[in-house]
Structure 1
Amino acid sequence: MGTFVLVHGGGHGGWCYKPVAQRLRAMGHEVHAPSLSGLADRRHLVSAAIDLDTHIADIAELLEYEDLTGAVLVGHSYGGMVITGAADRKPERVGHRVYLDAAYPREGESLYEHAYEMIHMAKQGLHVVDGVEMVMAPMPGMAAFFGVTDPELGAWTDARLTAQPWKCFDQKIAFWNEAAMRAIPESHLVCTSTMPGRDMALLTERSGGRVWDIDTGHDLMLTEPDWVAERLDAISKL
């Protein structure tokens, strides 16, 4: 069976993978779904020092301290930045990279540059809390922004979203072992609605054609957990 490290996107936490994690564990897989520093159950750790490098280190150190090898790194949205960086830091511990409707950065690119239209919109809500520039302040109905339209699931999601330090989105990613990282197999699970904004030819070429799409909201791990878990299970057996 496979070993999964599920990395959430901006404003989320490990909680958002609960439905997928339950399904993967029922299939016999080992699953880690941590919350990144300063978010969700780790929001009490928020500080001006938290940036993209912090979150890359969160996952790189998890790989090291849990002694994981051949791990399938799964990154959703902003989490694509994080898994790319973590695989670059610890390529010897990663067996596959999976981009779940996620950022797919180039060297020296920030999420703000990579997904400018969406992140610029988020930047309009920039505010300062205890000296930390934050974005994505949670508010009622925010789950709909992520494509969660079911009222009950939306309320559950709204109750768990947290603001995120702006530096995470503004810091440019730096690679240490890009060749080794790019050599790790990759797959892409994409929401049909976001395909027009992506370089699908690049994703298809680099993944060897391992690109699948589904017509659902951006938080597909919540709206379509069966499909996501089934696809991840299949990827782990490649």
Structure 2
Amino acid sequence: MGTFVLVAGAWHGGWVWERVAGPLRERGHRVSTPELAGVGERAGELTPRVGLATHVDEVCAVLAEQGQGQDEVVLVGHSYGGLVVWGAADRMPDAVAHLVLVDGWIADDGESLLSVVPQPLAQAMLGLAQRGDGVGVPAPGPENFGVTDPADAAWLVDRMTPHPLRTFTDPAQLTGAVDRVPGTALVCRPGNGAPFDQVAKEHGLPVVELASGHNVMVTAPDQVVRELLRVVSAAAVGPVARDRG
């Protein structure tokens, strides 16, 4: 059996993984869906001090709790959560058997989310920030995440919370140790038009395409479960080095 740590993207909390976490637990796997400071169930903790390093620290604490030498830990990050899990794996490479990015962003050392996303998207995020209080970025509509079913859209609207602006502007602090950790990128098609496949290939990650919008864990959770089960099976066999070309 394996252990999965599932990290949500911006504006979402651990709740967004419930349709994936349940089936994984039913198969005997351990699943953690950490709540990050300032978002989701911890929205009340939103302050100007909550930045990217805050979230990386929190995921590292979760990895430390899992213990070493037990189950293989598969660390999963969605969208903005890609930066968080990338940073955590760089800090604790020996604690992670496999990294999985689900339509996930990566920022190299010194880069921020706003410096790596396409500029129209960065400008849209900054526009949202201007509608907020300067600390939290209000959530965009569910259609921006590829969620069009009315019930699912309402479920998102009821739960999404403003996201700490500083996490978008803080530079990543990396040593390069993350390059030792095998990884896989799950890329949604049609997705939201962002170049997640290009980001993955630039960082040596093989790409698996999923037929879904950006929030695939909501709209097609069975596809995510299937691929995560494949990953944990492969991780148990042994790591495969990444080629960052």
Tell me if both proteins adopt one fold, taking TM over 0.5 as the criterion.
yes
Counterparts of 1:191 and 1:104 in 2: how far apart (Å)? 16
Residues 181-200 of structure 1 aligned to structure 2 (within 5 Å): 181-194=178-191, 197-198=195-196, 200=198
Counterparts of 1:59 and 1:206 in 2: how far apart (Å)? 23
2:119 is the alignment partner of 1:121: no
How many angstroms does 1:201 deviate by?
Answer: 8.4
List runs of 5+ in structure 1 lacking aligned partners: none
Residues 128-148 of structure 1 deviation map (CA, whole Å, 9 limit, x = unaligned)? 54xx5221x247xx1111111
2:210 is the alignment partner of 1:214: yes
Counterparts of 1:201 and 1:51 in 2: how far apart (Å)? 22
Contact 1:71 1:93 in 2 (8 A): yes
User: What secondary structure, in the 3-state scheme, does the structure 2 residue paired with 1:54 have?
Assistant: helix
Tell me: CA distance 1:184–1:123, structure 2 relative to 1, closer, same or farther (3 Å): same
Give the TM-score normalised by structure 2: 0.87
Number of aligned residue pairs: give it.
229
What does residue 99 of structure 1 align with?
Answer: 101
Counterparts of 1:53 and 1:59 in 2: how far apart (Å)? 10
What does residue 147 of structure 2 align with?
Answer: 148
What does residue 232 of structure 2 align with?
Answer: 236
How many angstroms does 1:235 deviate by?
Answer: 0.6
Counterparts of 2:48 and 2:142 in 1: how far apart (Å)? 26
- Residue identity matched to 2:49: A
What does residue 90 of structure 2 align with?
Answer: 88
Contact 1:80 1:104 in 2 (8 A): yes
List runs of 5+ in structure 2 lacking aligned partners: 235-245
What does residue 53 of structure 2 align with?
Answer: 53
Counterparts of 2:166 and 2:210 in 1: how far apart (Å)? 31
How many angstroms does 1:198 deviate by?
Answer: 4.0
Contact 1:204 1:211 in 2 (8 A): no
Work out which of the residue numbers 89, 112, 115 in structure 1 matches 2:114: 112
Counterparts of 1:15 and 1:106 in 2: how far apart (Å)? 28
Residues 6-37 of structure 1 deviation map (CA, whole Å, 9 limit, x = unaligned)? 00000000000000000111111110001111
Counterparts of 1:26 and 1:3 in 2: how far apart (Å)? 13
Counterparts of 1:54 and 1:230 in 2: how far apart (Å)? 31
User: What secondary structure, in the 3-state scheme, does the structure 1 residue paired with 2:147 have?
Assistant: coil
Contact 2:197 2:207 in 1 (8 A): no
What does residue 14 of structure 2 align with?
Answer: 14
Residues 167-197 of structure 1 deviation map (CA, whole Å, 9 limit, x = unaligned)? 1001110113x1x311110001001235772
CA RMSD of the aligned region, Å? 1.9
Identity %: 34
